[in-house]
Structure 1
Amino acid sequence: MVDFKSSDISLWKQALDCYPARIASLNKPNLASLDEFYRIELPSAIHRRNPKPYITTPELAKLMQWKLSRGKWRPRLLDFVSSLDEELVKSASGKAFESLPDLSKAVSALTVLKGVGPATASAVLAAYAPDVAPFMSDEFNTCIYWWIWWKAMEAALGNSKDYTLKQYLLFADKLQAKAKELNTIGDSFTSSDVERALWSSITQTKLDSRSDTSSRTKTSQGSKRKRKP
């Protein structure tokens, strides 16, 4: 697993390069195509609207679908976002993008929308300005997705469980600093690249652990069957 404190650019690049494979390894329906939409199609669509960029309600709904597919599925949030007024979404997102690089103002501009919290707001901002705003998951259960992001947060910030706007700002600052550090070594990393590299690395570690546990369980069960008279 990549240590957040590490400056080994090759390890960070390897983890980032493996991100699409890690997404596929989760075997979540439509997650790969949703992730491609989020990482490639959506940023391109937003930037085509410069100098007054915004997102639409359908785009926000698809972004929410991606977020929930990568984490905990909560259909009510998708329902809330899907029913938002188009002009309200355009206005809120336009104000948020205009507020950058002030993350506090940008997040606050988006969270006026029903169903949009700091985590979803961070995903919207990351799609437009990945160098400034890394995505922050808001998962709070003990499933693999919560474990993955909690460990990434823990790696960057230490043992803190505060998922507030204040914590997101601290988290973003840490990832911006890491990206700047890696860039001085001779590569081009955004704060969102750092987030994906961490997610990729920790996901693989968790999946390897689950695989090892499963193998040991099968071996143990096989040994017990052999000992039967």
Structure 2
Amino acid sequence: MASSDVPLHSEVTKEQFASYLSQYPAVVEAISQSKGAKDGQKTLSELDRYRYVDAVETFSLKGQKREMDLDDVKMLVEWKLRHGKFRPTLMSLVSSNPPSSSQTIHFAIKFYANSKDAGSAIRMLSELKGIGPATASLLLSVHDADHVIFFSDEAYYWLCCGGKKESIKYTPKEYLALRTEADALMKRLDVSAVDVEKVAYVLMKQPEAIKGSKVDMTAETKAPAKAAASAASSSSKKRKTGSSGGSDKKDKKAEVTAAKKDATEDNAALRRSKRLRR
């Protein structure tokens, strides 16, 4: 989605925000189906339920049922890798933390509960292997989903880059900028941090969801896809002249060219994602 198609967070209305938020389940389900899952692996939709429902109900400071351990961290990291950019070495780094690392998590969360100092708590969590400010913010977010924004790429693109997919270094300074913008939006529209995160995901991921979708989207989501399909059909009909065989060959050649282009772009994206910590 081009930045010109993304509404500025400073100008989005409460009604628009609610509309985008309502589209999140369909967008994430479409992406989940397009990605699929290996045998024994949870789908993105299943991991999404854990991140936004089960984990929040278990670890929320409003009524915490138990303290987070390393297995919980790995589940959230798995969600993060499938929900956003995949980083092949991140899970192995996180898994290399000893069981005693749970004490670091407990200390950081208790510190935050007493101080509400998210920045310092995230620095404490970042002492763990494979845990940078982004993953640390995720761990803190499930404990206080109303006030702590997860440092996702999509949230940073929308709130700090005007919808442009610019380079992110995943530094504490960048996270502070994200929190500042998120807090202003949350206060202006009276919305939660977790809802800001979901709206950002919809705005930055919606075209990808439409492209790979096997499920029904909302009316606003289906309209662009329907129009594009109609235009493509019309264009195809116009191309059909005397010899249908020649037209079929051109279409197949175009499909092969497009597939090669997609594969090249995917490989380039993978090379750009070699950062181990975020």
Q: Give me the TM-score of the superposition, normalised by structure 2.
A: 0.66
Pick the aligned partner of 2:204 from 202, 205, 217. Answer: 202
Alpha-carbon offset, residue 224 of structure 1: 3.9
Paired position in structure 2 for 1:25? 30
Equivalence map 1:171-190=2 (5 Å): 171-183=178-190, 189-190=191-192
Alpha-carbon offset, residue 163 of structure 1: 3.1
Equivalence map 1:12-161=2 (5 Å): 12-26=17-31, 27=33, 28-29=35-36, 30-47=43-60, 54-88=67-101, 90-100=102-112, 101-137=116-152, 150-151=157-158, 153-155=160-162, 161=168
Q: Percent identity?
A: 25
Alpha-carbon offset, residue 168 of structure 1: 0.6
Cα deviation, 1:140-167, whole Å, max 9, x if unaligned, reads: xxxxxx7x86345413899774531111
How many residues are matched? 215
Alpha-carbon offset, residue 209 of structure 1: 8.1
Unmatched 5+ stretches in structure 1: 139-145, 184-188
Alpha-carbon offset, residue 60 of structure 1: 0.5
Paired position in structure 2 for 1:141? none
Q: Distance in 1 between matches of 2:122 and 2:51?
A: 18
Alpha-carbon offset, residue 94 of structure 1: 1.6
Q: Distance in 1 between matches of 2:61 and 2:117?
A: 22
Unmatched 5+ stretches in structure 2: 1-5, 37-42, 213-224, 247-278
Pick the aligned partner of 1:170 from 171, 174, 177. Answer: 177
Q: Which has the higher contact order (CA 8 A, sep 6+)?
A: 2
Q: Is the 8 A contact 2:134 2:152 kept in 1?
A: yes
Assess, with a 3 A threshold, how the Cα gap between structure 1 residues 58 and 160 changes in structure 2: closer, same or farther: closer
Deviates more, 1:95-104 or 1:106-115: 95-104
Alpha-carbon offset, residue 77 of structure 1: 1.2
Asked if 1:10 is matched to 2:23, the reply is no
Letter in 1 for 2:22: D
